[in-house]
Amino acid sequence: MIKISNRLTTIANLVLKEKTNGVIDVGCDHALLDIYLLQNNNNIKIIASDINKLPLESAKKNIEKYSFLNKIVLKEKDGLLGIENDIDTVVISGMGEETITKILKRDKSYLKNVNRLIISSNTNNYKVRRDIIELGYLIKDEKVVFEEGKYYVIIEFTKGFKKYTNKELYIGPILKNDLNLSYNYYKYLFDKKSEIIKKIPDGNKEKEKLKKEIKLLEETLLLK
């Protein structure tokens, strides 16, 4: 069995907890996630895609090592362009919020048969939540993973509609319900933003924005 990081294991568990016919891993890097998925469910169709050749060459070596060349389809492609109709789950991780939402908005016509999105952004989860629910998805699950000195938020979206408050989009409507899991993550954000705001002069728009975020975090931390 291939060994993968806690972050990738968490992503894989979200993918595998529901029945799925086909998965596309956008920006597949070394394809470790895709190999792990097949080792745990040999019936899933998997496309490992990347816009760059170098990661795909690395992915191919790993796929060959685990004898999955006939199971994992490698594609050099940009985002979701041209994905097959039987792909119902999209995984995008390890990218910034702007790149992720740009891909999904640009390629939204290919989301017709996609029931689930598993997203792990390196930046701005507020905008990730806000922009993806506007595409016709709701937030099904959220996880936070601490690994190698960093926090990673992983969000599962499913087709549907639900109205969220600004606070829920910032804090996370599922994460806030399990402070045993997310308390340290919120405390980290609170401490980090509290230090940043000290260095910003009064009257700056960014300072006012940070004040609101710190207040939301403080309210959430006081729940425990």
CATH of the domain at 134: 3.40.50.150
Domain contains 168:
no
DSSP single-letter state for residue 52: S
Looking at the fold, whether 87 and 192 belong to one and the same domain comes out as no
Q: Are residues 49 and 131 in the same domain?
A: yes
116, two tokens: 């689930």
Q: Judge if 125 and 198 occupy the same domain.
A: no
Q: Mean pLDDT, consecutive 10-residue segments, the chain of 224 residues?
A: 94 95 94 96 93 92 94 93 91 95 94 96 95 97 94 97 95 90 93 93 87 93 77
Strand (E) or helix (H) holding 214 = helix 205-221
Residues 152 and 198 in one domain: no
Question: Would residue 140 count as lying in a domain?
Answer: yes
Token pair belonging to 157: 């979206």
Return the closest-CA partner of residue 142 out of 104, 132, 40: 132
102 belongs to a structural domain: yes
| Judgement on whether residues 16 and 44 belong to the same structural domain of the protein | yes
d(CA 43, CA 34): 12
Note whether 196 and 110 are same-domain residues.
no
Task: Please give the distance of CA 185 from its chain centroid, rounded to a whole number.
Answer: 16
- Are both 98 and 26 inside the same structural domain? yes
What is the span of the domain harbouring residue 193? 178-224
Residue 71 lies in a domain: yes
Question: Which residue bears the tokens 């910003």?
Answer: 200
The number of domains in the chain is: 2
Say which DSSP state 110 is in. Answer: G
Q: What is the CA radius of gyration of the chain?
A: 18
Please check whether residue 173 lies inside any domain of the structure.
Answer: no
Q: Tell me, yes or no, whether 51 and 99 share the same domain.
A: yes
* Tokens (6 digits) for 43: 């019936």
Q: Measured between alpha carbons, how far is 53 from 12 in angstroms, rounded to an integer?
A: 24
pTM for the full predicted model = 0.94
Q: Is residue 37 part of a domain?
A: yes
pLDDT of 204? 83
Q: 169 in a domain, yes or no? A: no
Is 119 in contact with 65 (CB distance < 8 Å)? no
Tell me which of 107, 129, 161 is where a domain ends. 161
Residue 25: phi and psi, rounded to 5, are -100, 100
Q: Residue 104 is which amino acid?
A: L
Position 222 scores a pLDDT of 86
What does the pLDDT read at residue 170? Answer: 95
pLDDT of res. 201 = 87
pLDDT of residue 203: 80
Residues in contact with 88: Cβ distance below 8 Å, sequence separation at least 6, in sequence order:
20, 21, 22, 113, 114, 115, 116
Residue 220, helix vs strand vs coil: helix
Question: Which run of H or E residues covers position 127?
Answer: helix 125-133
* ∠ Cα 216 217 223 (to 5°): 95
- Position 84 scores a pLDDT of 86
In sequence order, what are the residues at sequence separation of 6 or more whose Cβ sits closer than 8 angstroms to the Cβ of residue 18? 116
Question: What is the predicted pLDDT for the residue at 224?
Answer: 61
| Structure-block tokens of residue 97 | 């919020």
Shared-domain flag, residues 108 and 193: no
In a domain, 64, yes or no: yes
